[in-house]
A = this chain, B = another copy of it.
Amino acid sequence: MDNKNKTTPVSTLGEFGLIEHLTKNIELKNPQTIKGIGDDAAVLEYRGKQIVVTTDLLVEGIHFNLMYVPMRHLGYKSVMVNLSDVFAMNAYPRQITVSLAISGKFSVESLEELYKGFQMACDKYNVDLIGGDTTSSMTGLLISVTAIGEVEKGKAVYRSGAKVNDLICVSGDLGGAYMGLQLLERENEVFKIDPKMQPQFQGYDYILGRQLKPEARGDVIEALKSLNIQPTAMIDISDGLSSELMHICKASKVGCHVYEEKIPLDFQTKKFAEELHINPLVAALNGGEDYELLFTVPLADHDKVKNDPDITVIGHIVDAAEGVKLISALEGKAIPLQAQGWNPLKK
């Protein structure tokens, strides 16, 4: 960390200078990228494949708090959020564009950190950064990422294909990102009162990582491919399990039964939830930002999924008339699920 305190105002470079500075080291990796940054548009060529396109907007003060989110992590996560949507189509990401609106408080160095995050994500997932737009904002930072990926014709997985009796599966574990956020918020409050206090993070590295450095589950897409499983429906878990189950059930015109005791929760998620006296299940159902994959597979695929330690069968698809329900562990009661997930536009 040389020159840690050196800050160069963005105004010294101007728009074109800044973009040139930030993007000068970008190398294209994919044969599908014919022309990247530097013209009116990027040029791509996908021979015989279908293309998926997705976009997400991250706004300072709404989606992230720069008091405790490092710029590099923010850049990485901004890309992950979009790659996760590409994987949720059973597709492989190949390109992203990144647009930024930045206020005067950001230095060239802080934007370099942000771009390092973009590039780390692109390098790890073999994605090309092919363009974007950079402009100023009245307040704070806004990041708009669009991701483009490819999928073989007939292999895209929609939300709408779930059938009665299909198994409902989820990758990884849930609720960790939400609990990580609670931890960061708590320590930030302590810091605001006494800046000399050291934050208490020990024992919670996993949930912190879930919040600050999520990974899009391309490995799960690979695993399904090698298990020769074509999911009938799929979605990524960005707004909490409840909300995503309802999306699949609505689009597929079905209902579901999900079993409380099957929902995968990490030890740290449970431990910190206990510390805060909240039910970790609430974090899993309504917390969001886990970026795991929720998918349905035909019952006949049970043997294929049951031995994958990273995939948990949490329930099954039922008739639409039966509703979207959580079966409680203790009494076996069926509780209707509601999408109480993260919703920035609802009071």
Contact = CB atoms under 8 A, between A and B. Distances in A.
Given A40-B236, A136-B345, 4 more contacts: A40-B85, A41-B54, A46-B51, A59-B138
A235 interface: yes
A316 to B, nearest CB: 22
Interface in A269-317: none
A132 B343 contact: no
A113 to B, nearest CB: 18
B347 A11 contact: yes
Given A62-B138, A137-B59, A156 B43 contact: yes
B59 A51 contact: no
A89 to B, nearest CB: 5
B59 A42 contact: no
A-B CB proximity, top 5 nearest: A14-B346, A41-B54, A144-B144, A41-B52, A40-B88
A4 interface: no
Contacts of A62: 101, 135-138
A35 interface: yes
B53 A11 contact: no
Contacts of A345: 10-11, 13-15, 18, 102, 134-136
Interface stretch (A145-153, A203-211, A260-268): A145-153
A251 B16 CA distance: 13
A224 interface: no
A163 interface: no
A15 B343 contact: yes
A109 B50 CA distance: 36
Interface string A1-26: 00000000011011110100000000
A39 interface: yes
Interface in A221-243: 234-236
A262 B256 CA distance: 70
A35 B144 contact: no
15 contacts: A34-B156, A38-B251, A39-B158, A40-B85, A40-B236, A42-B53, A44-B53, A45-B51, A47-B48, A54-B131, A56-B133, A57-B101, A62-B136, A137-B142, A138-B139
Interface in A52-80: 52-57, 59-63
Nearest to A13: B345
A41 B89 contact: yes
Contacts of A132: 55
Interface string A85-127: 1101101000101011110000000000000000000000000
